[in-house]
Structure formats: structure tokens, C-alpha cells
Structure 1
Amino acid sequence: MKKNLQQLANWLNIENQAFPETVVTGISIDTRTIEQGDLFIPFRGEAVNGHRFVEQAFEKGAAAALWMNDEPNPPQHLPLIFVDNPEIALQEMAKGYRNEHKATFIGITGSNGKTSSKDILASSLAPYYKVQKTIGNFNNQLGLPITILQLDEDTEISVLEMGMSGFGEIEFLTKLARPHYAIITNIGEAHMQDLGSREGIAQAKFEIIQGLDDNGVLFFDGDEPLLQNLITKQPTLSTQSVGFTQGLDLVASNIVANAEGSNFHVEGTIDGDFFISVLGEHQVKNTLNAMLVSKALGLTDEQIRAALKQVVLTDMRMQLIPVGDVLFINDAYNAAPTSMHAAVQFVNQTSIRGDKWLVLGDMLELGDDEQQMHEEIAQHIDSDVVSYVCLYGPRMKWLYEKLQGQFNSELLVYSEADYAPIIETIKQYATNDTLILVKGSRGMKLETIIQNVAQ
């Protein structure tokens, strides 16, 4: 972005802007990461008032800053834009920049797989277009506007992740981003405590169509009846479906994993054999959406095939990590029942290594049914295939008690709040034939186990 303060003020309907020719080239809400030319946005909270850091932001390279109208003692010598509410101002500036930008915008939501889908799609398009994607978890009412305002003016494709915890949040984000294409990866159980049911979750995710371009297309998990039901109520909505069920627009089969990734076959809008350097059937389904979007943007099957071979995911998403002789699958970024079942199922089926372990941590934010959802993991663990199960966190005690009849006591390890028993078990009993899945909600920080085994 390269805009002067008068242009920003116009987006905010502000007249008589001081320092109108001062140019900003980015957005920052944190003086620790500010870059030369940024517009610094101070927020005022109960504990911290960002206005205290405005002058420091200028010292570190900021070109200008916002300032709340009711905040006293604004520095008179600095380029400031005066606003009533910095958050609303941020969103309005993002809306203004989005309205001017010529990129194709793609919005992604879903219970699981948003970040993986974003990475796969952006990697697939990057050899052929200038692509920018949501960085980290900047996917909410603050993060998405920042992502939009950080787009280069010559960006051709913007891949935007959209997160939520309640109704109305996706609607807000999609109306701001106005995507040309939208993806719903799946419907799981995350945020059940806020949305009440999987039907409620589906409805909240489906809000993404409310900002979809009039000629836009929704790509979705065709194996999910809740989405199919919602789509039947939108007869004018253009859609394409992916999954493992015959009759969908793109169907994957013959998925075979090895230490490098997954080979699979597709039929439908695209036909042929493909490879992606990512593990798991659920990641193959995420790939199907990326393939269809790539096709819609004009890529050939061969271009799609070549790009998929180069895909790299954000860390801690089915990430293979060798530590000494042991091979870990680090899937510790997050967990909900749907993604937990998929990851465990992958371990059951894979032939990458013969000695298979599970290191599982609590799944958070599941609401009143959390005990049942933890216990149900037992149904997916094949005791004839899995050697050791190591469980961490207070909620995993429910699964531990459920598994006691399936595993000998020395093969079933439980620790409520200390990683050490699991780390010691791995160090003592894992071999050069051992594959260990590590998965739990972000708050459990299970990557700590891998880091300590490596020491």
C-alpha cells in the first residue's frame, strides 16, 4: 500500500487533514514489529493505552498514527489522523483499500483446516501469480483489515483466512473482504459452547456467502450434509463440491501416504493422479478446494500438478519432524474432534513406520459435551496397530479411563500437568521404527514434548 494521509482521511470522511501529503506504506498495531512507513494504530484498553507509544512508533519509523479524539495531549508536531474509534477506523480504511484493489480475493473459513487450506492454495498459485495470504492468525475483526491494508498494490491474488467464535463474525469479515471465491473447509465441533450445535456452527460458517461477489463461487466439503442442506436453500448460489463421495465436482480416491507426502487420484472437474507434500486424508480434501480454485483461475491440470509438489504448510500441521531415530508428526497447532479423528485415522492406516504412537492433549472449547467427545476418541484408536498412547491434560483423563481395557498399563501413559512422564517414555522406548503423532489444542503446547525429546 502507498497512500497519503489525505487519501486515508477520505476513506474515513475526515476533512481538513493535517500533513495531507505524508505517505504511509503499511499498518502496525505493535511498536515491536513496526516497519518504516507504517501507520501506527494505538488501542486503548483497561491495562494498556497505546497512545503512550505513539512517539516511540515514530522513532522506530512510523510515518503517521491514528489518535482518538477524546485522548488528551496529542503531539502537535506529528502527522496524526484523529478518529473516534481506532478499530472502526482500521476497518473503514481496509474497506476503502479493498474497494480500490484489483486483486482477486479468496475467503476461507471452516472449523478445521483453514490455515492449511490457505497455505495449500497460496502455494499452488504462487508460481503463476503474485499472491499474498493471511499471516499467522490475523483472521479476525482486527487481523483481517490489517491483512488487507498490508497488500501490495500489484498483488494479484489475496487469500484471506476468516475465523470466528460466534454468529455474525464471518458475516462482518466477508462483507469487508467481498471475496470472489469462498471456501468452507468443513464443519466440526470447535466453538460448540458458543454456537450450541453443529447445525449452529454450519450456519455461522455459511455466513461467508453474504459477502461473496455476485458472480462468485462457493467451494465446500460435499461430504457434509449440513452444508448440502444449506446450499439447497440458495438456488442461485454457484457452488463446487469436493470430497470422497461419488457425484461431487471433485472426488479423491486411492490416497497413499509415504514419508514425503500423499499420492492420490481425482475424478470430476479434474482427472488424474496427483501428489502433495502433506500427510492426511483431511489435507487431501483441503487440497481439492485449492485445485478447483486454481482451475477456476485458469491454471491447467499440469500447472496445478507441478505447483502442488512444492506446497509447504505452516508449522505444526501434520509436519514431519525427525528427532534422532524417531519420526514425529507435529500436528500440535490445534485440535477438535473432527481433526483429531482424522489424524488418528491416518496413524492407523499409514505404513511410513511400523511402531506407531499417539501423544494426545486436551481438546478445548467443546462445551457441555467435552467428556463424551474425549471418550469417543477411543473408538478411532486401533489397539492392534498403535503401540503406545500418551495422554496429557485434565480432560484426557476421560480418554485414559476409556482406554484402560484396551491397552496394558505400561503402554498407556497419562499425565495431567507434567510433560516429563511422556518425554521419558519416548526417550526410553521409542526406536528407529517409531512414528509419533503429537496432537492437541493450542493451549496444551504439546510441541514442548518434541522440543524436550530433542534435547
Structure 2
Amino acid sequence: MTANLTTAFVAAAMRSRGYSVFEGPERDITGGAADSRNVSHGDLFAAFPGENADGNLFVADALKAGAVAVICSRQPDGEWPGATIAVTPDVTRAVGELAHAWRRECGPRVVGITGTVGKTTAKDFTAAVLANRFNVHSSPGNLNSREGLPLALMSLRRDHQVSVLELAMDSTGEIAELAAIAEPEIGAVLNIGFTHVSKLGSIDAIAAEKLSLVRGLPRTGTALLNADDPRIAPVAAELGCSVITFGCAEEAALRRGQVTDRGLDGTSFDVTFGETTERVNSPLPGAHTVSAVLTAIGAAIALGVNLRGAASAVSQSRATGRARVSHTEAGATIIDDRYNSSPASLAGALEMLAGLPGRRIALLGRMAELGEFEESEHRKAGAVAARSCDLLVCSGETCRALAEAARAAGHGDVRWFETKEEAAAAVAAIIEPGDYVLVKASRGEAFETILHVLEDAR
């Protein structure tokens, strides 16, 4: 029997739920996709109804690209004898049902990770650390939503012992829905912040949503809770499962000592659990990544690894996460952290920048989804930037407040531009050997379109 999900399993699971299935030859499925442009050979394509485009319109494209199975709400035109096609009135529900059935079939121990910021870094690093002892599956990229998490489970195999999954949300009830599909045994809550407040309405609503992950764990499970976050720590007392709190707080079960920042080479710190203390050398740069490391250690302990083994696995792991380092023609270093931005992640990145040698340049764009807190949070970020970089360059109307706050806090070289293109050109014109340039903005700002301007600077 193959270890992979197969089209035969898909056909049986979909038929058992009353959906129409046109079954092709049995083939292995190695992943899932919801964008026909991203389909790889062996994928299952889910034709989700999108805000801007209906996935049913791209089924043929997905099949031509190599999809071996499709879940859609309309039978595609033409003949596709080589593929298995399930037709259902609700694609999102059907894909979730398939993912849950396959997760049950494979039976891994599931680690679910949520939080406002740092989920992907924590997920990737936890998977890397656990791979030292287990055969580990993890969700690719940021497949973490109602649509994404089920697709992440399409690459799960029967021989995987552990699956590390990222759970995100932008509406009430989403975390609980994802947990019902993934059935985590271990749940980690990293932090709770203002991102998504524009959709959920309040920080209390965000907290309730994030904490639903650990509140729904089985009694035999383990909750990993950030003891340094006042919105997370109190929930430990109400849980019926095992709890491992982590952080620098004196009461944390997994307690870290003072962090030594080694710049882009990572961080070092002592960690104590019970009567044991070990030195941890993390490859992740910046003190703001320490919670991801503690999450990985906590997950390893929950899975039966002792502290020494977990600390050793951290030290042997390679850096993972959103930030990427590259170098310009002029000999400057670009810290490409522009995938996303929030108050906590931006503050952490700026503090990491502050510890680097040479001239430090911050090229910043808008932080999204802050609702009524947008201006105040950008002003707070400006105050952090004032003490963290030698040159602050920012773009977009929202970042006027950030620039103004930095100037008010005493920064002597702040430059604001209407567009990111103008901002990037200004930085490229002055880059010198030895400079460090932090590039950070929310995903919707599309800062990837200006990165080449910096990297090509001479």
C-alpha cells in the first residue's frame, strides 16, 4: 500500500458523503492547490469559490498542469479520463471532510500552532527540531486557513509520525473549524495582538478565537502557552489538559534566561525545565524569534523528548522563517522580511536591526488590518524605529504617522515617500558597502516588487 493519499481514497471518501464522483485510475496525490497556476504534477486541485474568481473556471487549467484529482462544484467541460473528479455543492466543506478523513487514516500526532505573529516561523522551526527524532510532516508555506489547512494535509503520508500545522483566522469560529479537521494533540498559542481587529472587532474577540485552540484540546493533550502574554497566561488555570507555559516569567514551566543576540547568526540563551537547565543556540536571528524556539522545545517535550535532546536539536537545526538575507552589488546586506508586518513583528525586526554593526537602514511600509488602532500603532512603531536605525525610509499615506512619530522621538534622518517605488529608489541611490537594510511591510503592500531595485544597487 502506498503511503500517499490516493485518488481511490478521495473517490471513496467523497462517495461516502453522497457526492458525485468520476473516478480515474488510482494515482498518488502528493499535495494540494487552490490556484491553477501553482498546480504541480500529482496535486489535488480544489475549486474554491473566491472573492475575485471562481475556481471552477480553472479546473481545466489545473488538470492540464498535472492535477490528478479535483473537487469542484461543476463538472468541467471535456473528457478527463486520467483524473478523479468529485462534484459537490460546497467545495470548502468537502475538502475539509476529505482532509479530516485522511488525517484519521494516517493517525499522526498533530501539533497545532496559532498566534497573531510568528506562526509560520514557529511552525517551520518546530518541524525542523522535531525532525531530529520523528518523521515529520508540516503545512507548506502559509496554508493555514479554512481553505489552506485542508490542502496542507493532502501531503500527509501514512508513515508520518508527527504533523505540525499552522492555524490562522480572520473570522469568528475559524480556529475551532480548523482544529476539528486537524485534531491537534498539542496546541501552541504564541501571542495575541491587534492584527485582524478590523475583522473581529476587538482584542478580546481575537483572544477568544486564538485561545479556542487550547480550550478544545483533549484531556490527554498538551497546551503550550506564552506565559509572558497577559491575555494568554491566565487560561492555563482553566484547561483540563496538560499545560507547559513558556517565556521569561518566573512562573513559566519552560523558562528562558537572558538572550544573547548574535545578529544574523541567531540568539543564545539558557532554558530551564524542572530541575534541568540547558544552553540553547538558536539559528533564528532576533530576540523576537525566541518564542518560536520555546514552542519547538515545548512541543518536543510534550512528545517525550527530554530538555537536553530538545536543546541539542535546536542547535543542530538550520534557520527557518520569513526573513531572508541577500547582498547587493554594492556590498550591502538586505534583510528581506517584507512578507508581512504587525506591531509585534515590526518591533522585533527593528530591535534585531538595532544590534547590527554598520549603518542600519529601515525601509518600511504599512501594517494592515489594524482597524481603529492603525494610526496609534504606526506611531508606536515610529518611536521604536527612532532608536533602532540610522536612516528611516517609509512609504504610503498610513506611514506618515510612523515618520512623524520617529521625528518627534528625535530621529534625525527620516524620509517619507508617497510610493514604495520612490522609497526604494532613494535607498538604492545611497547604499554603501557594510550597510544593513531591513525591508518590511504587510503582504498587501507588495514590497516584493521593489526588492530587485535594492539588490541591483551598485
Q: TM-score when scaled to structure 1?
A: 0.88
- Name the structure 1 match of 2:193: 188
CA distance in 2, matches of 1:225, 1:153: 39
Alpha-carbon distance in structure 2 between the residues aligned to 1:16 and 1:334: 40
SS at match of 1:309: helix
Q: 2:99 aligns with which of 84, 94, 99?
A: 94
Which AA in structure 1 matches 2:440? Answer: K
Q: Does 1:403 align with 2:406?
A: yes
Q: Which amino acid aligns with 1:437?
A: L
* Equivalent residue number for residue 203 of structure 1: 208
What displacement does 1:371 show? 0.8
Residue 437 of structure 2 aligns with an amino acid whose one-letter code is I
Structure-2 separation of matches of 1:366 and 1:263: 33
How far does residue 438 in structure 1 lie from its aligned partner after superposition?
Answer: 2.3
Secondary structure of the structure 1 residue equivalent to 2:357: coil
Contact 1:125 1:294 in 2 (8 A): yes
Kept in 2, the 8 Å contact 1:119–1:313? The answer is no
Alignment of 1:193-232 (within 5 A): 193-232=198-237
C-alpha displacement at 1:38, in angstroms? 4.0
1:376 corresponding residue in structure 2: 380
**Alignment-mate amino acid for residue 420 of structure 1:** E
Cα distance in 1 for partners of 2:53, 2:439 equals 36
Shift of 1:207: 1.1
Residue deviations 1:112-133 (CA, integer Å, cap 9, x gap): 0100101110111123221111
Return the alpha-carbon distance in structure 2 between the equivalents of residues 47 and 421 of structure 1.
30
Deviations 1:342-395 (A, max 9, x none): 2223333x2x30433322221111001211111122332454x63211112211
Q: Compute the displacement of 1:163 (Å).
A: 0.8
In the TM superposition, residue 96 of structure 1 has moved relative to its aligned partner by 1.0
2:181 to 167, 176, 180: 176
RMSD: 2.8
Verify the 8 A CA contact 1:118 1:161 in the aligned structure 2: yes
8 A Cα contact 1:393 1:444, kept in partner: no
- Partners in 1 of 2:397 and 2:12 — Cα distance? 51
Alignment pair present for 1:361 and 2:361: no
CA distance in 1, matches of 2:293, 2:307: 14
After TM superposition, give the deviation of residue 322 of structure 1 in Å. 3.2
Please name the residue that 1:249 is paired with. Answer: 253
2:443 corresponds to: 442
Task: Describe the SS at the equivalent of 1:414.
Answer: strand
Counterpart pick for 2:334 among 290, 306, 328: 328
Partner SS, residue 157 of structure 2 = coil
SS in 1 for 2:231: helix
Helix, strand or coil for the counterpart of 2:271?
A: strand
Q: Determine if contact 2:134/2:161 at 8 Å carries over to the other structure.
A: yes
Give the CA deviation at 1:437: 2.5
Q: How does 1:7-86 map to 2 (within 5 A)?
A: 8-10=11-13, 12-14=16-18, 19=23, 22-26=26-30, 27-43=32-48, 48-55=53-60, 57-68=62-73, 75=79, 79-86=84-91
TM-score by length of 2: 0.88
Distance 2:267 2:80 in 1: 60
Kept in 2, the 8 Å contact 1:176–1:211? The answer is no
Secondary structure of the structure 1 residue equivalent to 2:390: strand
Q: CA deviation at 1:205?
A: 0.2
Partner SS state of residue 232, structure 2: helix
Distance 1:262 1:246 in 2: 21
Q: 1:408 to 1:54 in 2, by over 3 A?
A: closer
SS in 1 for 2:454: helix
Aligned partner letter, 1:13: R
Q: Is the 8 A contact 1:413 1:422 kept in 2?
A: no
Distance 1:368 1:298, change over 3 A: same
Deviation at 1:182, TM superposition (A): 0.6
Task: Tell me the equivalent position of 2:284.
Answer: 278
State the AA in 2 paired with 1:363.
Answer: M
Q: Where does residue 351 of structure 2 map in the other structure?
A: 345
Partners of 1:174 and 1:209 within 8 A in 2: no
After superposition, the C-alpha distances for 1:233-278 in whole angstroms (9 at most, x for unaligned) are x242321111111121112222112241111111234512111111
Residue of structure 2 in register with 1:304 after alignment:
310
Rounded to whole Å, the distance in 2 between the matches of 1:445 and 1:7 is 36
Contact 1:280 1:343 in 2 (8 A): yes
8 Å contact kept, 2:45–2:67 = yes
Match of 1:239 among 229, 238, 243: 243
Give percent identity, aligned residues only: 26
Alpha-carbon distance, 1:400 to partner: 1.5
**Secondary structure in 1 aligned to 2:245?**
strand
Q: Do the aligned residues in 1 keep the contact of 2:187 with 2:222 (CA within 8 Å)? A: yes
Tell me, in whole angstroms, the C-alpha distance in 2 between the residues paired with 1:367 and 1:227.
22
CA displacement 1:165-223 (0-9 Å, x = unmatched): 12101011011111010111111110111222222211110111254233111101101
Cα gap change, 1:404/1:9 in structure 2, threshold over 3 Å: closer, same or farther?
A: same
Q: Secondary structure at the match of 2:298?
A: helix
